[in-house]
Amino acid sequence: MKRALGFLDGLVGLIVALLFAAALLLSLAGVAGRYVSTALAPDWGSEVVIYLVIWAVLLSAARVLRRATHIRVDFLVDRLPAAGQRAAEFLSLLIAFALGAFLVWSGWQVVDQAMIWDERSISSLRMPLWIYYAALPASFALQLIFLLERVADLLRGAAPVAPAPDLSD
Protein backbone atom coordinates (compact mmCIF):
# COMPACT_ATOMS: atom_id res chain seq x y z
CA MET A 1 0.00 0.00 0.00
CA LYS A 2 2.84 2.40 0.86
CA ARG A 3 4.35 1.82 -2.58
CA ALA A 4 1.05 2.66 -4.33
CA LEU A 5 0.61 5.79 -2.20
CA GLY A 6 4.20 6.77 -2.88
CA PHE A 7 3.57 6.37 -6.61
CA LEU A 8 0.39 8.47 -6.33
CA ASP A 9 2.29 11.11 -4.38
CA GLY A 10 5.03 11.22 -7.02
CA LEU A 11 2.47 11.39 -9.82
CA VAL A 12 0.73 14.31 -8.12
CA GLY A 13 4.12 15.99 -7.73
CA LEU A 14 4.79 15.60 -11.45
CA ILE A 15 1.36 16.97 -12.33
CA VAL A 16 1.91 19.95 -10.01
CA ALA A 17 5.27 20.68 -11.62
CA LEU A 18 3.75 20.51 -15.10
CA LEU A 19 0.87 22.78 -14.08
CA PHE A 20 3.25 25.39 -12.65
CA ALA A 21 5.51 25.15 -15.71
CA ALA A 22 2.54 25.62 -18.04
CA ALA A 23 1.35 28.61 -15.98
CA LEU A 24 4.81 30.17 -16.11
CA LEU A 25 5.17 29.65 -19.86
CA LEU A 26 1.69 31.01 -20.54
CA SER A 27 2.41 34.04 -18.35
CA LEU A 28 5.69 34.70 -20.13
CA ALA A 29 4.02 34.31 -23.53
CA GLY A 30 1.31 36.77 -22.49
CA VAL A 31 3.83 39.35 -21.31
CA ALA A 32 5.99 38.95 -24.43
CA GLY A 33 2.91 39.06 -26.63
CA ARG A 34 1.77 42.34 -25.12
CA TYR A 35 5.14 43.94 -25.90
CA VAL A 36 5.11 42.75 -29.51
CA SER A 37 1.42 43.16 -30.29
CA THR A 38 -1.77 43.00 -28.25
CA ALA A 39 -3.12 40.60 -30.87
CA LEU A 40 -0.55 38.04 -29.66
CA ALA A 41 -1.84 38.19 -26.06
CA PRO A 42 -5.14 36.30 -25.91
CA ASP A 43 -7.82 37.53 -23.52
CA TRP A 44 -7.94 34.10 -21.89
CA GLY A 45 -4.25 33.83 -20.95
CA SER A 46 -4.49 35.12 -17.39
CA GLU A 47 -7.68 33.12 -16.83
CA VAL A 48 -5.95 29.86 -17.72
CA VAL A 49 -2.92 30.79 -15.60
CA ILE A 50 -5.22 31.26 -12.61
CA TYR A 51 -6.86 27.87 -13.22
CA LEU A 52 -3.48 26.15 -13.54
CA VAL A 53 -2.12 27.74 -10.36
CA ILE A 54 -5.27 26.95 -8.35
CA TRP A 55 -5.08 23.31 -9.42
CA ALA A 56 -1.37 23.15 -8.63
CA VAL A 57 -1.71 24.74 -5.19
CA LEU A 58 -4.64 22.58 -4.14
CA LEU A 59 -2.98 19.39 -5.35
CA SER A 60 0.21 20.42 -3.53
CA ALA A 61 -1.79 20.71 -0.32
CA ALA A 62 -2.39 16.95 -0.41
CA ARG A 63 1.35 16.30 -0.66
CA VAL A 64 2.04 18.68 2.23
CA LEU A 65 -0.59 16.92 4.33
CA ARG A 66 0.94 13.50 3.59
CA ARG A 67 4.29 14.68 4.90
CA ALA A 68 2.76 16.56 7.86
CA THR A 69 4.79 19.62 6.87
CA HIS A 70 1.91 22.06 7.11
CA ILE A 71 1.85 24.78 9.74
CA ARG A 72 0.92 23.36 13.12
CA VAL A 73 0.10 25.13 16.35
CA ASP A 74 1.62 22.70 18.81
CA PHE A 75 2.41 24.85 21.82
CA LEU A 76 0.08 22.87 24.09
CA VAL A 77 0.47 19.50 22.39
CA ASP A 78 4.25 19.54 22.94
CA ARG A 79 3.64 19.75 26.68
CA LEU A 80 1.52 16.59 26.74
CA PRO A 81 2.97 13.16 27.50
CA ALA A 82 3.58 10.88 24.50
CA ALA A 83 0.17 9.20 24.86
CA GLY A 84 -1.54 12.60 24.97
CA GLN A 85 0.37 13.72 21.89
CA ARG A 86 -0.77 10.61 20.01
CA ALA A 87 -4.37 11.16 21.12
CA ALA A 88 -4.22 14.81 20.04
CA GLU A 89 -2.75 13.78 16.68
CA PHE A 90 -5.49 11.19 16.21
CA LEU A 91 -8.18 13.73 17.09
CA SER A 92 -6.73 16.28 14.67
CA LEU A 93 -6.63 13.67 11.90
CA LEU A 94 -10.27 12.76 12.55
CA ILE A 95 -11.32 16.41 12.44
CA ALA A 96 -9.31 16.91 9.25
CA PHE A 97 -10.98 13.84 7.74
CA ALA A 98 -14.46 15.11 8.59
CA LEU A 99 -13.69 18.54 7.15
CA GLY A 100 -12.11 16.98 4.05
CA ALA A 101 -15.12 14.71 3.48
CA PHE A 102 -17.42 17.72 3.77
CA LEU A 103 -15.33 19.68 1.24
CA VAL A 104 -15.31 16.77 -1.21
CA TRP A 105 -19.08 16.48 -0.95
CA SER A 106 -19.83 20.21 -1.08
CA GLY A 107 -17.22 20.79 -3.78
CA TRP A 108 -18.81 18.11 -5.89
CA GLN A 109 -22.19 19.82 -5.44
CA VAL A 110 -20.70 23.01 -6.91
CA VAL A 111 -19.13 21.06 -9.80
CA ASP A 112 -22.42 19.32 -10.48
CA GLN A 113 -24.37 22.58 -10.52
CA ALA A 114 -21.80 24.17 -12.83
CA MET A 115 -22.24 21.25 -15.22
CA ILE A 116 -26.03 21.38 -15.06
CA TRP A 117 -26.10 25.13 -15.67
CA ASP A 118 -23.26 24.92 -18.21
CA GLU A 119 -21.38 27.75 -16.49
CA ARG A 120 -18.55 29.12 -18.62
CA SER A 121 -15.87 31.76 -18.29
CA ILE A 122 -16.41 35.19 -19.81
CA SER A 123 -13.29 35.10 -22.00
CA SER A 124 -13.32 34.05 -25.63
CA LEU A 125 -12.16 30.61 -24.50
CA ARG A 126 -15.55 30.02 -22.81
CA MET A 127 -13.97 27.40 -20.58
CA PRO A 128 -16.43 25.30 -18.55
CA LEU A 129 -16.15 26.46 -14.95
CA TRP A 130 -16.67 22.98 -13.55
CA ILE A 131 -13.06 22.24 -14.55
CA TYR A 132 -11.92 25.08 -12.30
CA TYR A 133 -14.31 24.13 -9.49
CA ALA A 134 -13.26 20.46 -9.60
CA ALA A 135 -9.88 21.35 -8.11
CA LEU A 136 -11.39 21.52 -4.62
CA PRO A 137 -13.04 18.08 -4.43
CA ALA A 138 -10.13 16.47 -6.30
CA SER A 139 -7.60 17.92 -3.87
CA PHE A 140 -9.54 16.97 -0.79
CA ALA A 141 -10.23 13.47 -2.11
CA LEU A 142 -6.45 13.03 -2.34
CA GLN A 143 -6.09 14.49 1.12
CA LEU A 144 -8.59 11.95 2.47
CA ILE A 145 -6.50 9.13 1.02
CA PHE A 146 -3.34 10.52 2.61
CA LEU A 147 -5.17 11.14 5.90
CA LEU A 148 -6.19 7.48 6.00
CA GLU A 149 -2.55 6.56 5.51
CA ARG A 150 -1.51 8.81 8.39
CA VAL A 151 -4.23 7.39 10.66
CA ALA A 152 -3.16 3.84 9.82
CA ASP A 153 0.48 4.73 10.52
CA LEU A 154 -0.47 6.38 13.81
CA LEU A 155 -2.51 3.35 14.92
CA ARG A 156 0.40 1.04 14.04
CA GLY A 157 2.77 3.28 15.92
CA ALA A 158 4.78 3.80 12.74
CA ALA A 159 4.24 7.55 12.51
CA PRO A 160 5.11 9.61 15.53
CA VAL A 161 3.73 13.09 15.78
CA ALA A 162 5.68 15.16 13.25
CA PRO A 163 8.47 16.98 15.07
CA ALA A 164 8.42 20.75 14.85
CA PRO A 165 11.32 22.16 12.85
CA ASP A 166 13.94 24.06 14.83
CA LEU A 167 13.53 27.71 13.88
CA SER A 168 15.90 29.08 16.50
CA ASP A 169 18.74 29.83 14.05
Per-residue pLDDT reduced to its tens digit, 58-79: 999 999 999 888 887 888 888 9
Determine contact, residues 102/22, Cβ cutoff 8 Å.
no
Strand, helix or coil at 18?
helix
Helix locations, the chain, DSSP H = 2-36, 45-67, 82-116, 129-133, 135-156
DSSP state at residue 128? B
Residue 161's pLDDT band (cuts 50, 70, 90): very low
Give me the residue spans of the domains in the chain: 2-72+79-156
Per-residue pLDDT reduced to its tens digit, 37-54: 777 778 898 999 999 999
- Specify the pTM: 0.86
